[in-house]
Structure 1
Amino acid sequence: MSNLIKVSDLIADFLAEKEIKHVFGIIGAGNAHIFDSIHKKGYTEIICVHHEQAACMAMQTYYRTSGKVTAALLTTGAGSTNGVTGVVSAWADSIPGIIISGNEHSKYVDIHKNLRMWGVQGYDSPAMVEKVTKYSKQVLETENVKYELDKAYSIATHGRPGPCWIDVPMNIQSANIELSEINDFKQSELAELHLDTPEQLEASVEKLTSALKNAKRPVFWLGHGIKLAGADHLIQRLIEKYQVPSLVTWAGIDMIDSYHPLVYGRAGTYGQRCGNFVVQNCDLLICIGTRMAISQIGYEINELAREADIAVVDIDKYELEKYTDRYKYSINADAKDFITELLAQPLEGESKNVEWVAQCDAYRVNYPWVNENDHPDQDGFINSYPFMEKLNKHFKPDQHVTTDMGTALLSGHQVLKFTKGQRLMTSTGLGEMGYGLPAAIGVSIARNKGEVICLNCDGGMMMNLQELQTMVHYKLPIKLFIFNNDGYLMIKHTQNALFNGRRAGVDSKSGVTCPDFSALANAFGIPAFQIKTWEDFDRVIPQVQELEGPVICEVFMHPNQLFVPKLSLSIQKDGTLISPPLEDLSPLLSRAELKANMVAGLHAKSAMMDN
C-alpha cells in the first residue's frame, strides 16, 4: 500500500478535515490540480463564480451566515490580482477566510525572483497582500503545505479575525509526498494575544460598573465585534440588566431586535436624528466591539458625546490608540469576555435611568426614521426611504438581506429593521460597489441555497453584473432589487456640493449609462418586475416574495433624490464653511428646536450656523 499522496489531494483533504463543504473560485492553469482533487474527493463543492473578487466577497458572507470559515480558490496572475478587492474588504470588516492561490512553477520563483514577472503570469502575490491579510505565505516545500494551511486557518480566527493567503505553485500542487514527511502545525505555535489580563479586565469592569451606577445618561454602543466574538446572544441580557439605552453600529444592526424598547437605532454621519441625539446627550458612553469609524462618530472626536466619559472595548490595541486622549477607559479585551464580566457584576436597587429612558423615548417619537418632510416623493418618483419602511412589513421570519453601496446602503441601513432570526450584511469597511450580489450568493450557499433579498443599485450592479449567471446556474433564490437612479447618486450630490452642480462620469448626460435591467433579466432567463408607484409596490412585492427562484425587481427613483438626514458642511451667508457636530444633521432643525433637544445647549458651531 502506497504511502504517497498528491499535494492537491492533501489540500482537498484539508478542506474536508475542516468540514468546509463549499468554497468559491475560478479555475485556471495555476490551480487546476486543486480543482481536480476537490472534485475527485467529492466532499467539498466548488461554487464557480465569474470574477475572483466575487469569490472573496461570497467567502465573507458565507462565514457571516454560517459561522464557518471557508476558502476562495484563485489561479495565478490576474486570477489572484482580481481577488484583492474582496480580500481587502474582508480585512477591513474583520472577516476570516482562506485564500488559496496558484502560481507558476516554483523554479521561476527562484530564477526570476529579481524580475517583475515569474514564468508566464507569475508574481509575488503573498508580498502584494501582506499588509491586508493576517498571514500570507508562499509554500515552496511539499512537506509544509498542510502545515501552512492549518496555520492560516487557525490565525484567521485568532484574536481579531481576518483573511489569510496561502500561495502554492502549480508544481508543488502536482507533486507527491510521503505521508510521514508531512509537517503538522500545533495550536501552541499561535502568537500570544496581548490583551488585558483577567485581573486588569476585572478591575476595569468594576470601575465601569461604578460609573454606570453614578451616570445619569449612560449609553451602550454595540459593534459587530460582539458578533465576531460569539457574544451577540448576551446583548439583550446586558442592556436589560442595566436598563441602558443602546445603539448599534451599521455592521451590527442584526445583533439584537430593532424593535427592542431599549434600542434607539444607529447614530452616525448618516444616522437617525433619534440615535444622534441619544449619543450626543449621554454622560457615559460604553462602546463595545466597534472600531469607532469616522462614518460612525463624525469628523471630530472631541465633538462626540461632549458631556460624556467614553469607554471603548476592543480586541485590537491599535484601535484603542486612535483616540487615546479622548477615552477615559480603554479596555483591550475580547467583547465576550468583557460582557460576561459585566453581567457577573452585582447590581443593587432599581434602575436610575428612568428619566433618561423616557427622554430617549421622546427622541424616538419626535424624530421617526422616515418622515414626509425629509423623504417626499418627487416628480412622480417614489422615495427609497419610505420604500424601505414599507419593505420591513414584508420580511419573512428568517429574512436575510445583503446590500450594495449608495441608495441600498444608506436608506437601507437607516430604515430597515430586523428581529431575531433575520440578518443584514454589507461591506462597511471598504464600502466597495459590486459587493451586494456576490454577498447574496455567499449567504444563499451558506443557507443550503436559501432565500436572500439583495438590495442593489444600477451603478453597483455593473461592477459584478457577471454574477447574475452564477445566480442562475445554481438556481439561487435571490430576490434582486435594483434601485434605478441613472448612475452614481451619491457622487452627484458630492459634485453638487463641490462643483456647483457640474457633473462628470455620474449619469447618462455625463458619460455613464446602465442597461435596461428588465431586458437583461430576460436574457438571463430571470423573471423581472418594475416598481414605479406605490400601487406597483403593493402589487409587486407580494409576488416577488412568493417566487421561489431568482428574480429581478427594478425600483425607479428620482435621479437626484437626497440622502437625509446626514451630517454635511454648512455654507454660511458670508461664504464660510462650518462642519457641525453629530447632532446637527441636515436638513437643519431650527436653532431653537436643536437647543431644546440638547442637555448642554447648542454647540458653538451650531449657534453660528444659518438655518
Structure 2
Amino acid sequence: MMNDIIKVSDLIADFLINNEIKHVFGIIGAGNAHVFDSIQQKGYTEIICVHHEQAACMAMQTYYRTNGKVTAAILTTGAGSTNGITGVVSAWADSIPGIIISGNEHSKFVELHKDLRMWGVQGYDSPSMVEKVTKYATNVLETNKVVYELEKAYAIATHGRPGPCWIDIPMNLQSSNIEERDVIHFETSELPELNLDSDLSLSENVELLVESIKKAERPLFWFGNGIRLANAESLLKPLLEKYGIPALVTWAGIDSIDSNHPLVYGRAGTYGQRSANFILQNCDLLICIGTRMAISQIGYDINELARDADIAVVDIDKFELNKYKERYKYSINADAGIFIKKMLDKELGQSLNFLNWIEICNNYRSKYPWFNSDDHPDKDGFINSYQFMEKLNLHLKPDQHITTDMGTALLSGHQVLRIGKDQRLMTSTGLGEMGYGLPAAIGASVARGKGEVLCLNCDGGMMMNLQELQTIVHYKLPIKLFVFNNDGYLMIKHTQNALFNGRRAGVDSNSGVTCPNFSALAKAFEMPSFQIRSWEDFDIVVPQVQEISGPVICEVFMHPYQLFVPKLGLAIQSDGSLISPPLEDLSPFISRDELEKNMLNGLHPKSSNIEV
C-alpha cells in the first residue's frame, strides 16, 4: 500500500487547521518561509503580518483574551525570534496561553556549533533563551516529532496555569518530506496531573471557608483574572447573589463582572480608588479568587493588608500561594472555576445577612466616588485625563472592547472607566511594557472578526510600536486610537520629581525625548485624525470618532505634569524623614480625623505620625 509523503511545513499548517486556528501573527524570514508558504497554500489560516515580532506576540495575547482561542506567533530565526521575547515575557507574566513557532538554522548546526555563540548564519539556542518565561520550550531535531511537539505545546499552554510555549523548528526540517505513517502524535494522557497540594481537599476548604463566612461581619470577595482564564466569569453574578457579599476586582480582572453591579465596589491597590481601599482595609474576611496578589494590588507590606481580616486565597499556582502563605488563613491550591462551582453547590443551611456591612460599603462609595473632580482639575488650559475618562464612559458602546497602553491610559482608565457586562478592558498588568496598546488592539480586533476596538494610548507608548499603524491600515481594522499627548514620559517625570528634585533626563522635549505630530503622522498613513484640546472639542470630536467605521487617530492634549492620584506614596515629614503609609492612606492625604472616622478599628501608627 502506498503511503502519503507530506512536507513538514504542510503538517504545521495542518496542525493549525486541525485546531481551528483561523489567524496567526508573524513576520516572514528565511527561517520560517516554508511555514508561511504552506499556511498560505492551505488557505484556512490567515497570517496577520505585523511589522515587529514583539507585536505578533502581544497581539497573540489579546486574540486569546477576546475569543478564548489559543493562537500562534510565527517568528523567523535570529533577531526575528529575539524581537518576540518582550511579548513572550508579557504573556508569561499575565498567564496568557499561546504558541510561538520559531524558525532556526539548519539542524546540522545545532550539533556542529553547540558550543559556539551562534549557529550557522543567524541561529542561536532560542529555547534556552526563553525556558524561564515559558511553560514549555524545545528545539525539534527530528521530522517525525514536529507535530508531536506542536500538539504537546498546544495542550500544555492551557493545562493548569496558562502560559506561552515555544517550539523551535530548524528550516531544513520545515522543508523536509516525511511519510505520513512516521508522524508521531501527542496524547493528552501524557500531560502530568496538576499538582494541587492544599493541606485539605477542596471540599474541606470550602466547608471551612463557608463556616468563616457565616461568622464574619464584613466579608469581601476580590476577583482576579484567573477567573476569566478558568472560563468562570459567568459564575460571578450567581456567586454574589448566593452569598450577598461585596466584591472588588483587580485591574486584570476588571471586565470579569459588570462594574455597575450593586455589590461590585471597584478596584483597590496602590493606584486604587479611595472607597475601594477603605472597604478592603476594613473587611474582616477577605476571599481572593484567581489573583496572584501583586504588589500593585496589595501594597508593599502584606502584614498591613486588611489587618483585621482572615485572608483566603484561591490560586492554581502553588508558588504564588507560598509567597505570603504565613499571612493566609486559607491557602487553596485550586482552579478558580472549580472552586467557585463548589461554593455555588454548597448548601448554606442558613440565610446570610450582611446588610450592615453593605450599608458601610455604600457610604464609602457615596462619599468617595470613583472620580472626584476636586482631585483632577483642568490646569493651564489642558483637560485632565481622569475627567476625559469620566466623560468617555457616556460614549462607550454596549459591546466596546478597549485596550490600553501604560502611563496615562492605564492609570486614569483603570481608575475611572466603568466596564459593562458585554464590554472588555485589556492591558498588560504583569510586565507593564510600553508599546502594548497598539498590537493588543490588533489582536482583539482580529479576534472579533476584524471588528472595532478602542485603543487608549500615550505619546511615549505609541513610539514603541508605531510601525503597527501600517498593519491597522493594511487590514482595514476599525481601531479608534486615542493618543494622550503629555510631552514624553509622564510617570517618570513624577519619579524624577520625587528622587531628583525635579531634575529631568530623557523624559521630555527639554531633556532628550520628542514625539512626532501624530495628526501629521496619521495623514502619512492615510488615516483620519482629530485633536482634542478643550471640552468643546471633546463634545464634537468623540461622537465623530465613535461613528467612523475604519481606523482613526485622535490626539488628546493634556498637561505635561498632570498628577496621577489617588495613589499610595511616601509621606515626607518636616524633618525630612519618610513614612510609607498603609494602603488605606492614599495621597493626596485627607485629614487624620477624617481618616480615623473611615477606619473601623482606628488609625495605623504610621498614619498617626503623618503630618497633613
Q: Shorter-normalised TM-score: what interval?
A: over 0.9
CA distance in 1 between partners of 2:199 and 2:526 (Å): 58
CA distance in 2 between partners of 1:575 and 1:398 (Å): 50
CA distance in 1 between partners of 2:361 and 2:368 (Å): 10
Query: What SS is found at the alignment partner of 1:250?
Result: coil
Matched, 1:299 2:300: yes
Residue 556 (structure 2) aligns with: 555
Deviation, structure 1 residue 350: 3.6
What are the residue-to-residue correspondences of 1:371-410 with 2, within 5 Å?
371-410=372-411
Query: What SS is found at the alignment partner of 2:253?
Result: helix
Deviation, structure 1 residue 79: 0.1
CA displacement 1:42-86 (0-9 Å, x = unmatched): 110000000000000000000000100000000000000000000
What are the residue-to-residue correspondences of 1:17-416 with 2, within 5 Å?
17-196=18-197, 200-416=201-417
Query: What SS is found at the alignment partner of 2:102?
Result: strand
Structure 1, unmatched stretches of 5+, are none
CA displacement 1:499-522 (0-9 Å, x = unmatched): 000010000000000000000000
| TM-score, normalisation: structure 2 | 0.99
What are the residue-to-residue correspondences of 1:511-550 with 2, within 5 Å?
511-550=512-551
CA distance in 1 between partners of 2:292 and 2:172 (Å): 42
Residue 503 (structure 1) aligns with: 504
CA displacement 1:12-45 (0-9 Å, x = unmatched): 0000000000000000000000000000111100
Residue type at the aligned position of 1:188: S
CA distance in 2 between partners of 1:380 and 1:363 (Å): 32
Deviation, structure 1 residue 344: 1.1
What are the residue-to-residue correspondences of 1:434-473 with 2, within 5 Å?
434-473=435-474
Could you say what the CA RMSD is over the residues aligned between the two structures, in angstroms? 0.9
| TM-score, normalisation: structure 1 | 0.99
Structure 2, unmatched stretches of 5+, are none
Deviation, structure 1 residue 265: 0.2
CA displacement 1:263-297 (0-9 Å, x = unmatched): 00000000000100000000000000000000000
Cα contact 2:485–2:555 (8 A) shared by 1: yes
CA distance in 2 between partners of 1:370 and 1:189 (Å): 51
Residue type at the aligned position of 1:169: P
Residue type at the aligned position of 1:315: I
* Matched length: 611
Deviation, structure 1 residue 352: 2.3
Deviation, structure 1 residue 386: 1.1
Residue type at the aligned position of 2:314: V
Query: What SS is found at the alignment partner of 2:395?
Result: coil
Residue 424 (structure 1) aligns with: 425
CA displacement 1:163-210 (0-9 Å, x = unmatched): 000000000000000111111111111111011589710000000000
Residue 477 (structure 1) aligns with: 478
Residue 9 (structure 1) aligns with: 10
CA distance in 2 between partners of 1:598 and 1:349 (Å): 30
- Deviating more after overlay: 363-372 vs 277-286: 363-372
Query: What SS is found at the alignment partner of 1:553?
Result: strand
CA displacement 1:205-244 (0-9 Å, x = unmatched): 0000000000000000000000000110000111121111
- Deviating more after overlay: 418-427 vs 79-88: 418-427
Query: What SS is found at the alignment partner of 1:129?
Result: helix
Residue type at the aligned position of 1:518: S
Residue type at the aligned position of 2:343: L
Query: Identity percentage over the alignment?
Result: 76
Cα contact 2:99–2:153 (8 A) shared by 1: yes
Query: What SS is found at the alignment partner of 1:393?
Result: helix
Residue type at the aligned position of 1:78: A
Q: Which runs of 4+ in 1 moved over 6 A?
A: none
- Deviating more after overlay: 434-443 vs 368-377: 368-377
Deviation, structure 1 residue 446: 0.4
CA distance in 2 between partners of 1:249 and 1:178 (Å): 51
Cα contact 2:93–2:430 (8 A) shared by 1: yes
Residue type at the aligned position of 2:537: D
CA distance in 2 between partners of 1:202 and 1:466 (Å): 52
CA distance in 2 between partners of 1:71 and 1:313 (Å): 29
CA distance in 1 between partners of 2:200 and 2:532 (Å): 58
Residue type at the aligned position of 1:307: D
Residue type at the aligned position of 1:152: A
Residue type at the aligned position of 1:554: E
Query: What SS is found at the alignment partner of 2:152?
Result: helix
CA displacement 1:289-320 (0-9 Å, x = unmatched): 00000000000000000000000000000000
Query: What SS is found at the alignment partner of 2:99?
Result: strand
Cα contact 2:3–2:181 (8 A) shared by 1: no
CA displacement 1:84-127 (0-9 Å, x = unmatched): 00000000000000000000001111111100000000000000
Cα contact 2:77–2:105 (8 A) shared by 1: yes
CA distance in 1 between partners of 2:420 and 2:611 (Å): 40
Residue type at the aligned position of 2:30: A
* Cα distance, 1:466–1:282 mapped onto 2, change above 3 Å: same
Residue type at the aligned position of 1:253: I
